[in-house]
Amino acid sequence: MRIEICDVGPRDGLQNDPKILEPEVRAELVNRLAGAGLPRIEAVSFVNPARVPQMAGAEQVVAAIDRTPAVLYAGLVLNEKGYDRLARTSLDDVHFAFAATETFNMRNSNATVEESMQTAGRIVTRAHEDGIRATVTIGASFGCPFEGKVDPGRILDLAARLVETGPDEIVFADTIGVAVPKQVKHLVAEGVKLGRPVAVHAHNTRNTGFANAYAAIEAGASVLDASVGGVGGCPFAPRASGNIATEDLVYMLHGEGIETGVDLDELISVAGWLEDVLERQLEGQVYRAGTFAPVAG
C-alpha cells in the first residue's frame, strides 16, 4: 500500500510563521523536500502579498526550483487572478481552496461559498485545458472558527457538485484543527464513493491530527497533506501548533508498512535545517526524538 504525501510546509507552514523568508530560501526548502523524496510539494500561494507577506514573490520561488521530474509541484490559489499567475509559471498542479462556511470564506477569499464553487469549476476547466492538474480543497470541512460545527451532509453536497467539474482530487481540510477521527472517517468514506481520489489536510492543533490521518487512511484516503517540522500556526489561536509534521507522519506510515517514497532520515535533516532557518524549535517530534535507534547499552 502507498500513500501520497503532499508537503505543504513551504505554503501553509510558512504563511503563518512570524519569520518571513526570502523567495530563494523558500525555493531551497522546496528543493530539499524534493531531495528527501516527497512526491508532491505545495510550493507557493498566489495571494495578495500585502495581505500575506510571507508568500510574496511566488514567481521567484518557482523560478528558483531545481525541477525533479518525479515531483508534482503545486501552487495554491483562491481565485482566478491567482490562477492567471500560476498558469504563467512552470507549476504542474493548481490547488484551489475555499472555506465551506460563509463567514470564513468571505474573510479569507472575499467571496460567497457559491461564488467560490463557480470559481472552482472554472479553474478546474481552465487548468485541464492548460495541461495542469487541478485539485479542490474544501476548507473548514470539520468545523469553522466563526460558525462552529459544520454539517457533514453539506460538505458532501459541495464535494458531489465539485466532482462534476472533474478535479483530479477532492481535499477535506481541517483548517483549524478541531476534527476527531470519527468525523474524518465519515467524510472520507462517503467522499471516496464520489469516484475521485480523496485527500485529507489535517492540523495537529488539538493533538488529533495523526489519529485523523490514521482514520483517513482506514477510510480510503489516498493523499495526506503535512508540513515538514509541523510548521504552520493558526491565526485564530496564537499558541496553537500547525499542520501534522511530515516526518512524524512518515514515521507512522512506514511503521504501518505503508510506502511513501520518502527517505525519513533525509526528511529529518530538512526539519533540522528549517529549525535553524526559523530560529525556533519546531512542532515536529521525530526530528527531536530521533527515529527508533537503540542507544548503546
- Give the residue numbers annotated as catalytic, written as ranges: 234
Q: How far is the CB of 238 from a copy of itself (least distance, A)?
A: 9
Say how many C-beta atoms besides its own lie within 10 A of residue 220's C-beta: 15
Tell me which stretch binds a copy of itself (CB under 8 A): 10-18, 24-32, 87-95, 240-248.
240-248
Segment interacting with a copy of itself (CB under 8 A) among 19-27, 58-66, 112-120, 239-247: 239-247
Applying CB under 8 A, which part among 2-10, 88-96, 131-139, 211-219 lies near a copy of itself? 211-219
Interaction of residue 292 with a copy of itself, rule CB under 8 A: yes
Nearer to a copy of itself, 121 or 145 (CB): 145
Residues 135 to 154 in contact with a copy of itself, rule: CB under 8 A: 143-148
Binding of a copy of itself at residue 261 (CB under 8 A)? no
Residue from 195, 239, 276, 279 that binds a copy of itself (CB under 8 A)?
Answer: 239
Backbone angles phi, psi at 143, to 5 degrees: 165, 150
Task: Please say whether the beta carbons of 223 and 261 come within 8 A.
Answer: no
Of 28 and 247, CB closest to a copy of itself: 247
Binding site residues, a copy of itself, CB under 8 A: 103, 143-148, 177-183, 204-208, 210-211, 213-215, 230, 234, 236-237, 239-241, 244-245, 248, 251-252, 255-257, 281, 284-286, 288-292, 294-295, 297
